[in-house]
Amino acid sequence: MSTPRLARRHGVRVLAVLALAQLAGVPSPATAAAVAGSGSPVYANAHNYGPLSVSEDGRFVLFLSAADNLVAGDTNGYPDLYLLDSADGSFSRIDTHSSAEAPVYGDAAVSDDGRYVLFASRYDPGSATLLAAAQVYRLDRDTGSVLRLSSDALGQPGNANSYAHDLSADGRYAVFSTDAGNLVGAAAGYGQVYRHDAVTGLRELVSGDSTGQPTAGHSAHAEITPDGRHVLFVSSALQLPAGTFAGTFVRDMVAGVTTLASAANDGSAALQGYVYAPATISCSNRRISADGRFVVFDTITPMAPGDTNGELDVYVRDRVAGTTRWVSDAVGGTAPLEWNRCGSLSADGQTVAYLSFFFASDSRLYVRSLADNTLTQAASSGWGEAETLGSASLSGDGSALFHTQAVPLFPFPQLVRWRQSDGQAVLTQVPPSTVQIFADSFGPAQ
């Protein structure tokens, strides 16, 4: 596959995010029923993107939306960060500012109990002003307090953009990346990944070299295991093991060891193209199993004898056994399309959801069980790759979540959940009752 073609395909998700951001300042359509007829559901009336994060039980879902009909009082006219409680179908708007600034820099995350939300923004909740650079915050939804994580030793904000990534299950540990040069262990000009402990206040460098020094390369898009021990991140730093143009790495925060996860059976590095700009949203989340043993990644490097298509394919690395398995291959007569990426792992590492594309003509979501070697097509559409299917995430109840424009008779991408037991359900349905916006009670950033 030619380099321009690969670049064009990699750019599709980035363009989709930019298109969502460009909705700022454009009035959204009037609220209307999705389908004609009495009792028809009402869906979000503008673009939705995500999920950005899903709790392990699938109850809490964090996503980005430009709709103004999900909660009462959303009059700022810009995309917002929302949390869905699927237990009752209610939505909470995490950011309530009226600025034209994009609400999310990088990813965002929610703890498993829905209490804590990690996000980044230039808008400071405490001072209600725009800062010179985006900062990372952890919101406590129970108290309304906000903790800024991207501060220097004196409590001053980072002097360059910082990007939110992930939370541990209980919300204690947060991982984020930053371009700031005034944080402890920072290296000016190169993005570094950190783990912040909200209990002790300790912030540790994750993307350091073997001596613990910052690396001369960009690191971002981190994920953390539920217990906070293992941190996955993507980096182009050559000082990391088997230094490559871009690789997926795992840092054991207890052992203090970083290993290459995007590797073949012989340990050689896979070609992963490049590190996505940290300000963009990852196309999938939960790329590492709960115990840190399994990691999913995509690559154009063929790592199995039958992988001869020259396209992106999805692989799972067993870090304990040192083996790598091709998972976007044909199974039982079911063959994925030519371009496969955005893999998401179940907690035990035995189920993979991933997106499969045939450029500009078809897109599908597949769920692959590694235990019984089955492949299930969870969603499909012929609307074209750019807006039909995006993002992917598996939750512990077996659900696969994604966004798609293929909701019948409705023009905007909606957030959808698929389960083997009952198929697809649109999650971005407007609740019949007015939902209180708890985020209005934000306290000052600490």
Residue at 221 is within a domain: yes
pLDDT above 60: residue 17 = no
Scan for tokens 């994009």, then name that residue.
102
> Which domain does 63 fall in, by range?
3-30+41-441
- Contact (Cβ atoms closer than 8 angstroms) between residue 216 and residue 239: yes
Residue at 185 is within a domain: yes
Q: What string of DSSP letters covers 164-181?
A: EEEE-TTSSEEEEEE--S
Scan for tokens 């990691």, then name that residue.
295
Q: How many CB atoms lie within 10 A of CB 421?
A: 7
Is the model more confident about 60 or about 337?
A: 60
- Strand ranges, E, within 307-373: 313-318, 323-326, 339-345, 351-358, 362-369
Q: Give 188-230 pLDDT, tens digit per residue.
A: 567 899 999 999 999 999 998 888 888 878 889 999 999 999 9
Q: How many CB atoms lie within 10 A of CB 266?
A: 8
Residue at 36 is within a domain: no
Residue at 374 is within a domain: yes
Is the model more confident about 392 or about 434?
A: 392
Strand partners, 164: 106, 176
Band of the pLDDT at 433, cuts 50, 70, 90? low
pLDDT above 50: residue 8 = no
pLDDT above 70: residue 435 = no
pLDDT above 80: residue 26 = no
Task: Name the nearest CA neighbour of 75 among 31, 105, 108, 107.
Answer: 31
- Contact (Cβ atoms closer than 8 angstroms) between residue 191 and residue 217: no
* Per-residue model confidence (pLDDT) at position 274: 55
Q: 83-87, 234-238, 360-364, 365-369: lowest mean pLDDT where?
A: 360-364
pLDDT above 50: residue 374 = yes
Q: What total number of domains does the chain contain?
A: 1
* Per-residue model confidence (pLDDT) at position 420: 85
Name residue 69's amino acid. N
Alpha carbons 202 and 208: distance in angstroms, whole number:
16
- Contact (Cβ atoms closer than 8 angstroms) between residue 76 and residue 98: yes
Chain center to CA of 265: 27
Q: DSSP character for 267? A: S
Name residue 353's amino acid. A
CATH number for the domain harbouring residue 286? 2.120.10.30
* Per-residue model confidence (pLDDT) at position 230: 98
Q: Which helix (H) or strand (E) holds 51?
A: strand 48-54
* Per-residue model confidence (pLDDT) at position 98: 60
Q: Give 254-293 pLDDT, tens digit per residue.
A: 999 999 999 999 888 887 755 667 778 888 889 999 999 9
Query: Quick one: tokens of 107?
Result: 């990813």
Residue at 446 is within a domain: no
**Torsion sign across C-alpha atoms 149, 224, 403, 310:** positive
Q: Give 48-79 pLDDT, tens digit per residue.
A: 999 999 999 999 999 999 999 998 888 878 88
* Per-residue model confidence (pLDDT) at position 100: 60
Contacts with 190 (C-beta within 8 Å, 6 or more apart), sequence order: 179, 214, 215, 216, 217, 218, 219, 237
* Per-residue model confidence (pLDDT) at position 392: 86
Q: How many CB atoms lie within 10 A of CB 11?
A: 12
- Measured in degrees and rounded to the nearest 5, phi and psi for residue 399 equal -80, 145
Residue at 35 is within a domain: no
SS (H, E, C) the chain: CCHHHHHHHHHHHHHHHHHHHCCCCCCCCCCCCCCCCCCCCCECCCCEEEEEEECCCCCEEEEEECCCCCCCCCCCCCCEEEEEECCCCEEEECCCCCCCCCCCCECCEECCCCCEEEEEEEEECCCCEEEEEEEEEEEECCCCCEEECCECCCCCECCCCEEEEEECCCCCEEEEEECCCCCCCCCCCCCEEEEEECCCCCEEECCCCCCCCCCCCCEEEEEECCCCCEEEEEECCCCCCCCCCCEEEEEECCCCEEEECCECCCCCECCCCCCCCCCCCCCCCCCECCCCCEEEEEECCCCCCCCCCCCCEEEEEECCCCEEEECCCCECCECCCCEEEEEEECCCCCEEEEEEEECCCEEEEEEEECCCCEEEEEEEECCCHHHHEEEEEECCCCCEEEEECCCCCCCCCEEEEEECCCEEEECCECCCCCCCCHHHHCCCEC
Residue at 170 is within a domain: yes
Name residue 340's amino acid. N
Task: Name the nearest CA neighbour of 107 among 287, 338, 264.
Answer: 287
- Measured in degrees and rounded to the nearest 5, phi and psi for residue 7 equal -65, -40
Q: DSSP character for 288? A: B
Q: Give 382-412 pLDDT, tens digit per residue.
A: 544 344 577 889 998 779 998 887 776 577 8
